């Protein structure tokens, strides 16, 4: 079954002939980039990464390193979600504005390169979640080959492992804006506060981290089995996150869950 899905993905990419890959350096886009390079060759593939306020600098450097490691032509573009009308207001269609802005920025690159298609890391799991960005993709004719091949996250991790991609066990990541409760204005100050907090917590050896922001409350999500790593540092964590600007620091006993703000 997995071999069949990989074959389907390869066929989809082969039919696209040449692609610009919206590349974040995460599990899905790295796998997509790798398969695109294998099928089409580097002369027909371009990885594009958007450097913005919502994308941590550590992730940008990781994306650059991974693209080089894979031998992919790579271009970094400067974007600003906070300047996109409707984005900072942070309603439930926030991701639509983000993806719309991203694809509009990529279109001139597509035209200049002569490539035929833009692809991004949409996966089968996403179809059961609130993903307004998919509407922007449809409007711009952007394809999601992983989803079209019906590949789920765990299958992508398994195939990535088989291909010796180091991202096979990389923690899931989403933009920093996803940490801020819907309805709260997104500001550079809040994004910086989240980025600093998550970087600090990862330094304690925690693998999967989210610092969900509800006003002056930090709701920390980690995987349940990692809570015991965090609790002995409770006073230190409290003091550090207060220094970053939070007033109350909490631990979500339900543990990490992707897209938990959608609840």
Residues designated as active site: 175
Cβ distance 19 to 118 under 8 Å?
Answer: yes
Query: What b/e sequence results for 188-225 when a residue is b if at least 16 CB atoms lie within 10 Å of its CB, and e otherwise?
Result: eebbebbbbbbebbeebebeebbbbbeeeebbbbbeee
CA 51/CA 223 separation, integer angstroms: 28
Rounded alpha-carbon distances, angstroms, from residue 228 to 192, 194, 204, 225, 234: 27, 22, 12, 7, 10
CA 193/CA 170 separation, integer angstroms: 23
Residue 259: left (phi > 0), alpha (psi -120 to 50), or beta? left
Strand 209-214 relative to strand 117-119, pairing: unpaired
């Amino acid at each position: 079954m997995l071999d069949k899905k990989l074959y389907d993905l390869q066929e989809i990419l082969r039919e696209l002939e040449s692609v610009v890959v919206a590349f974040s350096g995460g599990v899905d886009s790295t796998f997509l980039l790798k398969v695109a390079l294998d099928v089409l060759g580097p002369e027909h593939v371009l990885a594009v990464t958007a450097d913005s306020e919502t994308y941590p600098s550590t992730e940008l450097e990781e994306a650059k390193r991974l693209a080089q490691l894979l031998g992919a032509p790579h271009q970094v573009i400067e974007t600003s979600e906070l300047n996109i009308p409707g984005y900072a207001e942070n309603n439930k269609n926030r991701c639509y504005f983000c993806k719309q802005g991203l694809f509009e920025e990529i279109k001139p690159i597509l035209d200049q390169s002569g490539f035929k298609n833009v692809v991004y890391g949409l996966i089968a799991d996403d179809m059961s979640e609130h993903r307004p960005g998919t509407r922007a993709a449809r409007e711009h004719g952007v394809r999601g080959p992983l989803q079209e091949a019906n590949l789920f996250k765990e299958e992508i991790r398994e195939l990535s492992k088989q291909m010796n991609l180091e991202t096979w066990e990389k923690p899931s990541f989403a933009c920093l804006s996803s940490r801020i409760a819907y309805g709260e204005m997104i500001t550079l100050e809040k994004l910086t506060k989240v980025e600093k907090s998550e970087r600090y917590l990862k330094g304690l050896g925690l693998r999967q981290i989210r610092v969900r922001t509800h006003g002056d409350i930090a709701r920390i999500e980690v995987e349940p089995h990692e809570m015991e790593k965090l609790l002995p540092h409770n006073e230190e964590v409290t003091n550090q996150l207060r220094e970053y600007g939070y007033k109350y620091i909490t631990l979500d006993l339900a543990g990490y869950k992707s897209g938990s703000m959608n609840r």
